[in-house]
Structure 1
Amino acid sequence: MSEHHSGPVETGAKMDYSEHEKTYDSFINATKYGTAILVALMIAMAAGFFTAAGFFGGLIAFIVLSVVGVIMLR
């Protein structure tokens, strides 16, 4: 059945909040920049496959969109 605790609920080691916040910020940054790169890749692939731009046009579009996206996210 249910147990009634009168002590603290957390019985493990103390949490290192500064390290936790650094890890969280790194995860958010990786997600943000990774999404920007993937969006640039999808647009460049569409430009390369469905227009007359070809492979090199798509590659140039990817590079330009990646640089613009990273600059805008800073």
Structure 2
Amino acid sequence: MAEHPTGPAETGAPMDYREHEKTYTLFLNGAKWLSVFVGALLIAMAAGFFGHIGLIASVLIFLVLAVAGFAMTR
């Protein structure tokens, strides 16, 4: 049958705090870079669709905004 612990849940397996911090930092960096990417993409799409500037200009706007966003968040 299943083993039933008798002690409190807080005294379970020891935490690996170093690995927890690495995972948290990776998540925050991923969220930051994804936000920059999505923001640049949305602005470039809006400029291309509503500004009638064309595909190449939209790609250039995206690249400029993405590079600027990456540089500002470093």
TM class by shorter-chain length? 0.7 to 0.9
Identity %: 52
Aligned position for 1:73: 73
TM value normalised by structure 2: 0.85
Aligned position for 2:45: 45
TM value normalised by structure 1: 0.85
Aligned position for 2:56: 56
Aligned position for 2:3: none
Letter of the 1:12 counterpart = G
Aligned position for 1:16: 16
Tell me how many residue pairs correspond in the alignment.
Answer: 69
Q: CA RMSD in A?
A: 1.5
Corresponding residue SS for 1:10: helix
* Structure 1 unaligned regions, length at least 5: none
Deviates more, 1:14-23 or 1:49-58: 49-58
The Cα of 1:51 is off from its aligned counterpart by: 1.2
* Structure 2 unaligned regions, length at least 5: 1-5
